[in-house]
Structure 1
Amino acid sequence: MTRFTAQLTTQLDRLGHHGVRRGGRDRAPTLVAVAHGSRDPEALRSVNALLDRVRALRPGLPVRLGHIELNQPLLTDTLAALRGEAVLVPLLLSRGYHVKQDIPDAIAAAPHLTARIAAPLGPDPLLAEALHARLAEAGSRAEAGSPAEAGRRAAAPHRTGGVVLAAAGSRDPDAALDTARTAALLSARLGGAPVLPGYASGSGPTVPEAVRALAALGHDRIAVASYFTAPGRFATQCASVAPGPAAAPLGAHPAVARLVLRRYEQALASAPLSHPAATVGV
């Protein structure tokens, strides 16, 4: 057991079952999952499936959803309907404007709440695990054959080729740093295969540019890992330019559900809830 794991286990033991601190609050603070929102109807279905997994992992924990834009319920409406204590967990994969500005602004507009903002989901080894699984799924679906052969072919792009980590992009340099850290984690999970970030917007190389960079290095089997929480325009756009397997977004992968709870628990363990809201680990 690592030092971090031991410390986290001790902290969670102090919190008690369902995040209720022994001798303290009687009800666990509400976990408010903050999604970006998308016009793609699959996005809302994917986020709801993820939150169903979270609820299954922690029965009795109140879990609510709020969107920054484009989907109902909006975060401001979710917060307006709540009372008591809440921990906002951004279903976002890096630091950036939404984490640093939009979510704190929503909390500031809800002075009746006692709340904290957890760190975004990324970077984290659990995301690398989910990305690895999605890449394997894409490879095994793309090529037919026996189960053993399909497994070898699914792994082939990881061993002999490269991977583009397709992300939304941001002008915030912290977002680029976070995405680069995830690329490094995924590379390690893939046994050292090269992983280059490519972006749908903002600064930095586009997905086609990252593909060309890998090809210039001699990698002729290139997969695209979809570093998006849910389906949407950017995920579709990035998948459309993949020269090889294009993985599905993270979606309701079990590792992502575990990570949502990890961020919630880390926020609770960091300090007592207070208002105005504090941001943990951002």
Structure 2
Amino acid sequence: MTRIATHGSVVVAAHGTRDPAGVAVAHQLVDALRARLLGRPVSLAFVDVLGPTVREVVAAAPGPVTVVPAFLSSGYHVRTDVPREVIATGRRDVSVSTALGPHPLLVGAMWDRLCAAGWRRGDAVVLAAAGSSDPRAVAEVRIAAAQLSGKVGGRVRVAFVATGAPRVASLVAGLRAAGEARIAVAPWLLAPGLFYRRLGLAEADVVSAPLGVHPDVIDRLVELAEPVAVRRTA
């Protein structure tokens, strides 16, 4: 395990959900990151649905502050909401990292979840993302799908749960009608919640778990929390 010794605090900015299991995952991610940062203050803030807000947490955090957007692509929340909340604090000692994804570490976590759920070679694979109206975020989802295809050894199709087309259920139905014997859905989602529950209605043969508190997710958070820090092996 690699730990990081440096100064300042970290604020992890998550989306927020009313699902208690999803909230628990957000707290578990922050706890795991805190354990890797040698006692540095690490706090959790939410961009939507829940509080405390990014503005509130950043305003109270000891400086300098690194804000890590825990999102799998750089959509509206990452490009607009998080920077706006930081600017509203009036602080000048705050930096915002890039989004959590896409990144090969996260694709590795998704691959582990898919294998654990029962993926078989030859299954048709669908990467299921929340979706975004920002074409740059959609392009990032397709990057993740291309990386997953290298592990699957075949094509990985992209579908969306909430915004964009095709929707997951429609794509699964189309693949079934085209004669695919088995269909596996790999959620490009960080935590359980409404979007993940909707995947259960798609009637796929396999639906893997969200990325959750996978070791590779924690490694990626560490990279973003202090990308230029001096590292040492515990």
TM score, norm. by length of structure 2: 0.90
Deviations 1:33-79 (A, max 9, x none): 11000011111101111122212223222211100122232212111
Matched, 1:96 2:58: no
AA of the residue aligned to 1:195: V
Distance 1:242 1:30 in 2: 44
- Counterpart of 1:272 in structure 2 is none
1:79-228 maps to which residues of 2 (within 5 A)?
Answer: 79-139=58-118, 155-156=119-120, 159-190=121-152, 192-215=153-176, 218-228=179-189
Q: CA, structure 1 residues 258+251, in 2 after alignment: closer, same or farther (shift >3 Å)? A: same
RMSD (Å) for aligned C-alpha atoms = 1.9
Pairwise CA distance, 1:120: 0.8
Q: CA, structure 1 residues 77+194, in 2 after alignment: closer, same or farther (shift >3 Å)? A: same
Pairwise CA distance, 1:218: 4.5
Runs of 5+ in structure 2 lacking a partner?
230-234
Higher strand share: 2
Distance 2:74 2:131 in 1: 11
Does the 8 Å CA contact 2:8/2:62 hold for their aligned counterparts?
Answer: no
Deviations 1:58-117 (A, max 9, x none): 322221110012223221211121232111111100011001100010011111351111
Pairwise CA distance, 1:227: 1.1
Matched, 1:56 2:35: yes
TM score, norm. by length of structure 1: 0.76
Distance 1:239 1:178 in 2: 24
1:67-82 maps to which residues of 2 (within 5 A)?
Answer: 67-82=46-61
Identity across the alignment (%) = 36
Runs of 5+ in structure 1 lacking a partner?
1-11, 21-27, 140-154, 270-282
Matched, 1:258 2:219: yes
AA of the residue aligned to 1:18: I
Higher helix share: 1
State the 4+ residue runs in structure 1 displaced beyond 3 angstroms. Answer: 212-218
Pairwise CA distance, 1:180: 0.2
What is the aligned residue count? 228
Deviations 1:201-255 (A, max 9, x none): 2222110233245446643211111111111111111232142111111111111
Distance 1:262 1:213 in 2: 39
